[in-house]
Amino acid sequence: MNLGTIALVTITAAVVLGIGAWISFYVSRKHNTEDDWLVGGRSLPMIVVAFTQYATAVGGGVLVAHVGISYAWGLSVFWYELFVVAGMLIIALFANWLRKGRFSTIPEVFTRLYGQNTVLLSTVAIAVIVVPFGWLATQFVAFANLFSEVTGIPFTPLIIAMAIISLLFVLPGGLTSVAWSDFFFGVFMVGTSIIIAIYAVMSAGGWGQVVENVPDDMFTMPQGLTLAGAGTIVLWFFAIVPGTLTNQLYYQRVFASKSGKDARSSLYLGAVMVMVAGVYAFFIGVSIRAMNPSLGEDGREMAAGWFLTQVPTWLLALYGAFLMATIVSTTGSALQSVVANLINDLRGALIKGKTTQKQTITLSRWLTVGVTLVAAALAIVYPRALDWLVATYAYSASILAAPMLIGIILAKKHFRVRTQVAFVSMAVGLLACGIAHIIGTSAPFAVFGIIGGSMAYAVSLAIWKPVRTEGDLVEDKPVYDSKTPDSNWNGELT
């Protein structure tokens, strides 16, 4: 790539990121309270929440891996998006309850379901933190790998640059600034993906030519949906649905909505946009297959990279900005989520005694810088050893899935489950996942953890019977502020 092209890509990306950063700083001027930092002031407009849900769900995987899936297996790519959508729609079933509960993090949900317990709160907080922290570190590596090859800039300076850029979207106002910048990035991503998909189809000679040059079974039903193989599709299900249902980033945006109705609507709209991302991946993947079938299934991960070498300079600049917006929206969300748990759930381990709102925000900012430094250092020192972070998704889901989802369902029926049930389920889920991981099973070890945790929950529930309740879900002091309008909530799911 010549210097002129590098300059154009850099300037375009800088303009897009600059607009996002300006939005981040602008909204933080009027929204800079502790609630704004943790949950967007619980007043984000529905359309903003929808786009930040979309920006959270759509990351580098759609840009590279999903295009490769489409290249190799056609319509099978939509299973991936459908499983993400399934998780979002299940969350939507509980959105009203979650919003009325005035939660800030997933550990607070566990506190409401199982009572105040420091060990439980800390365990859940750690299980929640590892996933977004893993996202953060791996996104730094992905960014450096991608742009190091394109620009020739060394790996370490790119990671440092990415770390600094990420801070620009979190430090001003926490979730409020992240959500509003995500709104801009989400709109840009949707528009750009449509342009890129149209260009890909036209480059392949039009849709008719694509259909003629690509095997028929990639388009036909139901063959196209089964090309990836039943085993692969089942593995995707166990990896994606539980991971979505235990991912705090989605829940924080529900908590940040103006109402339960807005929270549900944002999830529905976000789900539609996730499917649009699947359409983008499908059209680009099959178009690349029509233009260059020689990569084969084993080379599907190279499909997106090959396509980059075929696009004109103006589109490459737009594509570069698209990649940056996608990566930054993910890193900002992940960073804010980690800090929210540290501040809201583990603060007692860091600071003794109460803190003022100003002190809490200051501490949040310092922790944001600290977490960023740790993630960047990990990415620099262990750029090839970050695969273990992928395992955090499996362990987190194994610990959280059963006690969280079954607990909420029982709460709907006005039952309070004893703390022992949660502990046993979490311990068995972790153990089953760990054993399967060590043995090296062919199926994802998360499958064994989730099934083990669910079975342990059912057995424990028979031993420690749930308690019928007519009032709050727990007898302990509620986690929400008694002065708030929703403080008379009786735990009903409506």
Read off φ and ψ for residue 175, nearest 5 degrees. Answer: -65, -30
Rounded Cα distance, 30 and 236, in Å = 42
CA distance linking residue 369 with residue 372, whole number of Å: 5
With bands split at pLDDT 50, 70 and 90, how would you rate the model's confidence at 480?
A: very low
Give residue 349's pLDDT band: very low, low, confident or very high (50, 70, 90): low
Query: pLDDT above 90 covers what percent of the chain?
Result: 28
Return the higher-pLDDT residue of 473 and 466: 466
Residue 353 — pLDDT band, cuts 50, 70, 90?
Answer: low
Alpha helix segments (H runs only) across 204-312: 207-213, 223-226, 230-245, 248-255, 260-291, 303-308
**pLDDT of 130 above 50:** yes
Binning the chain into helix, strand and coil, the percentages to the nearest 5 are 80, 0, 20
Whether the pLDDT of residue 482 is over 60: the answer is no
pTM over 0.75: yes
Q: Which pLDDT score, from 0 to 100, does residue 476 have?
A: 38
Predicted pLDDT of residue 401: 92
Q: How far is CA 486 from CA 99, 256, 340, 479, 481, in A?
A: 10, 14, 22, 12, 9
In this structure, of 145-154, 239-248, 277-286, 334-343, the range with the lowest mean pLDDT score is 145-154
| pLDDT tens-digit readout, 7-40 | 888 888 889 989 988 998 888 888 778 888 888 8
Residue 368 clears pLDDT 60, i.e. is over it: yes
pLDDT in tens, 40-93: 888 899 999 999 888 888 766 666 678 888 888 989 989 988 999 999 999 999
pLDDT band at 461, cuts 50/70/90? very high
- Indicate the SS3 state at residue 348: helix
φ/ψ region of 287 (left if φ > 0, alpha if ψ in -120 to 50, else beta) reads alpha
pLDDT, mean over the chain: 83
Cβ neighbours for 142, distance < 8 A, ≥ 6 positions apart = 60, 327
Tally Cβ neighbours within 10 Å of residue 47. Answer: 15
Q: What integer pLDDT is reported at residue 59 of this predicted model?
A: 67
Closest CA relative to residue 376, chosen from 186, 143, 200, 49: 143
Is the per-residue pLDDT at 3 higher than 60? yes
**3 state SS for the chain:** CCHHHHHHHHHHHHHHHHHHHHHHHHHHHHCCCHHHHHHHHHCECHHHHHHHHHHHHCCHHHHCHHHHHHHHHHHHHHHHHHHHHHHHHHHHHCHHHHHHCCCCCHHHHHHHHHCCCHHHHHHHHHHHHHHHHHHHHHHHHHHHHHHHHHHCCCHHHHHHHHHHHHHHHHCCCCHHHHHHHHHHHHHHHHHHHHHHHHHHHHHCCCHHHHHHHCCHHHCCCCHHHHCCCHHHHHHHHHHHHHHHHCCHHHHHHHHCECCHHHHHHHHHHHHHHHHHHHHHHHHHHHHHHHHCHHHCHHHHHHHHHHHHCCCCHHHHHHHHHHHHHHHHHHHHHHHHHHHHHHHHCCHHHHCCCCCCHHHHHHHHHHHHHHHHHHHHHHHHHCCCCCHHHHHHHHHHHHHHHHHHHHHHHHHHCCEECCHHHHHHHHHHHHHHHHHHHHHCCCCCHHHHHHHHHHHHHHHHHHHCCCEECCCCCCCCCCCCCCCCCCCCCCCCCC
Please check whether residue 267 is in contact with residue 95, taking contact to mean a CB–CB distance below 8 angstroms. Answer: yes
Q: Are 214 and 72 in contact (CB under 8 A)?
A: no
The type of residue at 15 is V
- pLDDT at residue 15, as a whole number: 92
- What's the confidence (pLDDT) of residue 378? 86
